[in-house]
Amino acid sequence: MNKRVSSGSPFEGIVGMSRARRIGTTIAVAGTAPLGPDGHTVGTGDVYAQTRRCLDIIAAALTDAGATMADVIRTRIMLVDISRWRDAARAHAEVFGDVRPASTIVEVKGFIDPEWLVELEVDAVAPR
């Protein structure tokens, strides 16, 4: 299987990317920002709300690619303020508490939109 998944983000065309890409059973989900369906930032100023939004977008992309959050083997959480890591971790644990993927949390200088406080990306292995 070779499948591209779109989330409808305006950045997909600008950057020349897919929200997710599945080749065989491997799925990579690109850095996911907290955008609402209207293209505006969700949860301005709230790391937890933004992380939950990113996870919702990721879950939808995985579903389109034939997988679920239970199939995730690796996550990367990128924050502009590492001191707020517990807010992102709480949202992550709510979704992945039983899955326990390998995970990394890092601080970055910034994102395309200064309202974004967090971005997430994941890798998954889908069922055959």
The tokens for 100 are 């326990």
Predicted pLDDT of residue 13: 87
Radius of gyration of the chain (CA): 14
Q: Which residue do the tokens 């709480």 mark? A: 90
Rounded Cα distance between 75 and 88, Å, is 12
| pTM for the whole structure | 0.94
pLDDT at 1: 85
Taking only the tens place, the pLDDT of each residue in 66-103 is: 999 999 999 999 999 999 999 999 999 999 999 999 99
Domain ranges (residues) in the chain: 2-125
- Type of residue at 84: R
CATH fold, domain 2-125, is: 60s Ribosomal Protein L30; Chain: A; (3.30.1330)
CB atoms within 10 A of CB 12: 16
Q: Measured between alpha carbons, how far is residue 87 from residues 4, 26, 37 in Å?
A: 31, 29, 23
CA dihedral 23, 101, 55, 51 (to 10 degrees): -140
